[in-house]
Chains A and B, each alone.
Chain A
Amino acid sequence: MTWLRALVAFAIVSFALVLQVSLFPHLAWHGVVPNLCLLVVVGAALTRGPQFAMVLGFAAGVALDLAPPADHLAGRWALALVVVGYVAGQVRQGSRGDSRPASGTVLATVAASSFVGTSVFALSGVVLGDPIAIPELLEVIVGALLWDLLLTPLVLPPVMALFRRLEPALAHMNG
């Protein structure tokens, strides 16, 4: 059963990844697309806590790093999404008591996670010596943040409902 849950979680991530790569470039603003994988990780963190979200973030990050057309050093998105899972998971732990976070909390978490995720990825590139211009970097971070916030009302409720259904007993106990 645990394997089945892991499989379903990874299927959600894969679906998000494929949409991100094949559908959203058609709607992209300067090549910036909503980071659906990040939204899924945030959704997992808000329903299931940091441990699960970090593991899922690692898996989603590795998928983002390896699936075509990725060409950057593998492990960079994994690192960014592990940190996102941790940060978003802290929000859930902080608001222990009410099982469903308020929509304002969700939006704030998505904003913080998007900022942290894109920044960690970009900074890892700067550390590794990628030629990244700072104005472009800021533009991408802000653009990604707006995109992620825009998609939050569409993506987060079904994702969170799904993760809640995957583990109803545990979500209830922890939430």
Chain B
Amino acid sequence: MRERRWRGPEGPKSPVALLVALVLASFCLMTLDSTAGGPVDSARRAAGEVFGPVEVATATAVRPFTAVPHWFRSKDDMQQDLIALQAENSRLKSDLATHDYDKNRLEEYDGLTAAARSLGTSLVPARVVGMGSSQSFSRTVTIDAGSDAGIRPDLTVLDNDGLVGRVLRVTHTTATVLLIVDANSVVGARVGRSMQVGLLHGRGALGTDGRLDLELVDQTAVPSEGDAVVTWGSEAGGPYVSGVPIGKVTHVYSSVRETTQRAVIDPYVDFGALDLVGVVVPSGTASDRAVIEANGTLR
């Protein structure tokens, strides 16, 4: 009989037992997470509280350098707009620091301000500090505003081009946003010209492939190419507020078998280059930063 000796935790034993144990542990974690409200949710929250501020700090530290590749890579005006917006935003911050609330100097928030005015709600400005990788096959970003800024789950997130997504969960200083291009994202949408309603599904792709599929409820309604699509919204104001521009129709397919019209929507927002966004909050929300009110003022 061979003597089996304990050689310490790092001993050159067959790693298969450990492999099996850890694989089973992973499956346990998946099972735990699939039940809503389980311990994984609090673990997720705790991880967010720890990693969130680190992500904010890192994003702030690398921001001056990340503008360089952006500048080289960009061919569309959008990048230029973003750079201008960043410059103007930092100027605004210095203005705020000197308590110079001159309304004429708020051009940088013009886009967001216009959005807030037309929606009749307040906007909490935030910046994207972390972005999920394609390897994870989910399109989510972290923003640097959390429950301290008055943000809670299921709020609408937009930028000055249109709808970005909705808040999934928050920590004190950060929030996780599900982008509308995520394959699990469903948005109630309305074709601006015909007022037809439908459901907008993400395709899970970013960049130029970042298209959305619109399935109209009424199969007799045929959207035409170039039609603008806005959010439908719900009575309670819940996940998405109504009237936020999403994109425009680029292709229309009709499926006889499924008796629905399917249209491909090109979103206004460039999801590969998100930076400054606004979170729609109820008017009068307490926040740790300047909130853009419905009448266009900063509070």
List the interface of chain A (C-beta within 8 A of B): 14, 17-28, 30-33, 35, 48-52, 54-55, 57-58, 61-79, 82-83, 86, 89, 118, 121-122, 124-125, 128, 130-133, 136-137, 140, 143-144, 167, 170, 174
Q: Are B130 and A25 in contact (CB-based, < 8 A)? A: yes
* A31–B207 touching, CB < 8 Å: yes
Contact of B272 among A28, A49, A69 (CB under 8 A): A28
The reply to whether A51 and B168 contact each other, CB–CB distance below 8 Å, is: no
Q: A18-B58, A25-B131, A28-B134 are in contact. Are A68 and B25 (CB under 8 A)?
A: no
| Residue in A26, A76, A167 whose CB lies within 8 Å of B69 | A26
Say whether A26 contacts B138, CB under 8 Å: no
Measured CB to CB, the residues of B under 8 A from A are 9-10, 12-13, 15, 18-19, 22-23, 25-30, 32-34, 40, 43-44, 46-48, 50-52, 54-55, 58-59, 62, 66, 69-70, 129-142, 168-169, 171, 174, 176-178, 183-184, 203-207, 209, 272
Bound together, the chains give a CA A110 to CA B166 distance in angstroms of: 36
Instruction: Tell me the smallest distance from the CB of B47 to a CB of chain A, in Å.
Output: 4
Q: Is the pair A131, B204 in contact by a Cβ cutoff of 8 Å?
A: yes
- Chain B residues positioned under 8 Å from A50 (CB to CB): 15, 18-19
Extra contacts besides A68-B52, A75-B33, A137-B137 (4): CB < 8 Å: A51-B13, A67-B51, A70-B138, A71-B178
Main secondary structure of the interface of B (DSSP, over half): helix
- With A20-B133, A49-B12, A65-B29 given, is the CB distance from A30 to B207 under 8 Å? yes
Would you list 15 pairs from A and B whose C-beta atoms are within 8 A, ordered by A residue?
A17-B51, A21-B55, A22-B58, A33-B133, A57-B22, A67-B48, A67-B50, A68-B171, A68-B174, A69-B141, A82-B22, A89-B15, A133-B203, A137-B137, A174-B12
Residue of B19, B168, B204, B209 near A86 (CB, 8 A) is: B19
Q: A19 touching B58 by the CB < 8 A rule?
A: yes
In the assembled complex, which residues on chain B have CB atoms less than 8 Å from the CB atom of A19? Answer: 58
Residues of chain A within 8 A of B205, CB atoms compared: 30-31, 136
The answer to whether B134 and A22 have CB atoms under 8 Å apart is no
Chain B residues whose C-beta falls within 8 Å of the C-beta of A20 in the assembled complex: 133
In the bound assembly, the distance between CA atoms of A165 and B46 in angstroms comes to 31
Shortest B52–chain A CB gap in Å is 6
Q: Which residues of A contact B184 (CB under 8 A)?
A: 130-131
**A140–B130 contact, CB under 8 A?**
no
A48 — which chain B residues lie within 8 A by C-beta?
10
How far, in angstroms, from A58 to B139 measured CA to CA in the complex? Answer: 23
A86 to B22, CA, bound (A): 11
Q: Could you tell me if A79 and B206 are in contact, using CB atoms closer than 8 angstroms?
A: no
Task: Give A122 to B135 CA distance when docked, in angstroms.
Answer: 8
* CB pair B62 A21 closer than 8 Å: no
Expressed in whole angstroms, the minimum distance between the Cβ of A169 and any Cβ of chain B is 11
A32 & B134 in contact (Cβ 8 Å cutoff) = yes
B-chain residues with CB within 8 Å of residue A30 when the two chains form the complex: 134, 205-207, 209, 272
Chain A proximity of B228: nearest CB distance (Å): 26
